[in-house]
Each structure stands twice: as structure tokens, then as C-alpha cells.
């Protein structure tokens, strides 16, 4: 295992983002006027930035990360966030677990919504600066090998209301599975799927 790289949830830039969380596209993607969304599973947690944004918006978020080095970094950032006044409340709504989401989702109870953020596409990687590239380095290896279409299908069985998938704006949907609706940003989009009943 290499050097542990963590993200500082309490950095001024992150805190500014948290203060304006309702402008974040991801929050718009989970919003629903018709169904109550309280609990979300972030099944591809990574360093937990998206999970933290969701928690800041008031959701209870369970973050699942399968790579031990990344899960350790996630838990370290989370612990530090619990001690800081600007991030404490959000971090208290987060539970960070080391697990494979195929296993976790197979055995857990149904949850209001599930979030998937697959690996960055080559196009997206090229747009990232060196610092961010360093941060995500440990998560890149399985870009091509993870069965995200399978994970999406499983998530559709476990979500009561939504499965939300982050994609580069121009990338095809996961496994060519047509979403129910899309929230479009400048470089990314969120594909929303309804449950399979
Ligand atoms: C693009 S990163 C997610 C970034 C994250 N949304 C953030 O804001 O930091 C995808 C992460 O999903 C994890 N992952 C992929 N498949 C997984 C699975 N089956 N179970 C749990 N984690 C998984 C990878 O190890 C990687 O860390």
C-alpha cells in the first residue's frame, strides 16, 4: 500500500462548496417533490466528496468503498471532519464502510436512493490537473474491469425511489441502460433510474 493520500474536507475551498451546497448539480439530481428521500447509499464512495455534499444537504449517507487504501483515506478524512465545526454536522450523517457494494447491496435492506460514480473516462482524466490525478491514482486501475452495469441493475432492485449515476456529459449511459431522466451540467451529467420492481 503506498502513501495515504487524503482529502481535507475542512479546506477553505471545500467549506465554501459546502456552504453553497444547494447549487450543486448532485443535490438537484437527488431532489424529489413527490417522494421522501432521507437515506442514500453511495456505493462507489472514493474519497467521499460527493457523499459529503449529500450529507451536507441533510441526507443520511452510507458510503461504501471497496479499495482498502481509499477506504482508509475516506475514514481518515471523515474522522477529521467530525472534529471541525464547519463539517461536523454533515460528517455525523455519514457512515463510511470498507466493503464491495455487490456484497453490501445484496444483503442490505432497501434504501431510499443509491448513488454510483464510476471511474473517470479517459476524456475526463485528461481534463484533471496533476494534483487531482495523484489523488485518484489509486482508483483508476479497475476502470475497465468493474461491472458497473451489474452494479446499476442490483442498485435498481435495492433503491425505493432513485438510482443516480454520475457520467461525463457526453459519455454513453452505463451499459447502454437508458435513464428515466437526466440532470445536465457543463461537463458532467447525472442519469436517474427508477427502481426495477
Ligand atoms: C470515481 S471514484 C468515486 C469518487 C467519489 N464520488 C468522490 O466524490 O470522491 C469510484 C470509486 O468507486 C470504488 N468502487 C468501484 N467499484 C466498487 C464496488 N463494487 N464497491 C465499492 N466501491 C467500488 C472505486 O474503488 C473508487 O474509489
Top-confidence residue, 4 or 116? 116
Span of 65-74, 120-129, 173-182 with lowest mean pLDDT: 120-129
13 domain residue, yes or no: no
pLDDT band (50, 70, 90) for residue 7: confident
Q: Is the CB of 102 under 6 A from ligand 1?
A: yes
72 domain residue, yes or no: yes
Q: Average pLDDT of 35-54?
A: 95
1 domain residue, yes or no: no
10 domain residue, yes or no: no
Please write the tens of the pLDDT for every residue from 134-179.
666 655 555 556 899 999 999 999 999 999 999 999 999 999 899 9
Q: Average pLDDT of 130-134?
A: 62
Domain extent at residue 156: 22-193
9 domain residue, yes or no: no
Q: What is the DSSP string of the chain?
A: --------TTSHHHHHHHHTGGGSHHHHHH--SSS---EEEESS-TTSHHHHHHHHTT-EEEEEE-SHHHHHHHHHHHHHHHTSTTTHHHHHTEEEEES-HHHHHHHSPPEEEEEE--PPPHHHHHHS-HHHHHHHGGG-TTTTTS-HHHHHHHHHHHEEEEEEEEEETTSPPGGGPPPSEEEE-SSEEEEEEPPP-
- Select from 74, 167, 163, 151 the least CA-distant residue to 119: 167
Q: Whose CA is nearest to atom 16 of ligand 1?
A: 44
30 C-alpha to ligand 1 centroid (Å): 18
Q: Is the CB of 66 under 6 A from ligand 1?
A: yes
**Domain CATH code at residue 96:** 3.40.50.150
Q: Which three cell numbers stand for residue 118?
A: 464510476
Q: Whose CA is nearest to atom 27 of ligand 1?
A: 46
- What is the number of domains present in the chain? 1
14 domain residue, yes or no: no
Q: Is the CB of 64 under 6 A from ligand 1?
A: yes
163 domain residue, yes or no: yes
16 domain residue, yes or no: no
As a whole number, the mean pLDDT across the chain is 89
pLDDT band (50, 70, 90) for residue 104: very high
pLDDT band (50, 70, 90) for residue 2: low
Amino acid at each position: 500500500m503506498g502513501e495515504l493520500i487524503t482529502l481535507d474536507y475542512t479546506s477553505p475551498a471545500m467549506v465554501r462548496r459546502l456552504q453553497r451546497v444547494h447549487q450543486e448539480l448532485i443535490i438537484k439530481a437527488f431532489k424529489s417533490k413527490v417522494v421522501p428521500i432521507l437515506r442514500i447509499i453511495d456505493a462507489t464512495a472514493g474519497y467521499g466528496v460527493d457523499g459529503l455534499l449529500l450529507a451536507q444537504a441533510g441526507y443520511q449517507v452510507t458510503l461504501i468503498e471497496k479499495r482498502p487504501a481509499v477506504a482508509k483515506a475516506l475514514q481518515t478524512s471523515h474522522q477529521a471532519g467530525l472534529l471541525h465545526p464547519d463539517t461536523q454536522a454533515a460528517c455525523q450523517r455519514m457512515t463510511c464502510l470498507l466493503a464491495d457494494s455487490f456484497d453490501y447491496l445484496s444483503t442490505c435492506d432497501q434504501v431510499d436512493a443509491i448513488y454510483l460514480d464510476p471511474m473517470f473516462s479517459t476524456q475526463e482524466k485528461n481534463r484533471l490537473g496533476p494534483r487531482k490525478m495523484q489523488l485518484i491514482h489509486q482508483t483508476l486501475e479497475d476502470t475497465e474491469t468493474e461491472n458497473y452495469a451489474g452494479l446499476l441493475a442490483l442498485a435498481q432492485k435495492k433503491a425505493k425511489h432513485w438510482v443516480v449515476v454520475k457520467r461525463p456529459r457526453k459519455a454513453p449511459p452505463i451499459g447502454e441502460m437508458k435513464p428515466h431522466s437526466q440532470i445536465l451540467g457543463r461537463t458532467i451529467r447525472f442519469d436517474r433510474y427508477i427502481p426495477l420492481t
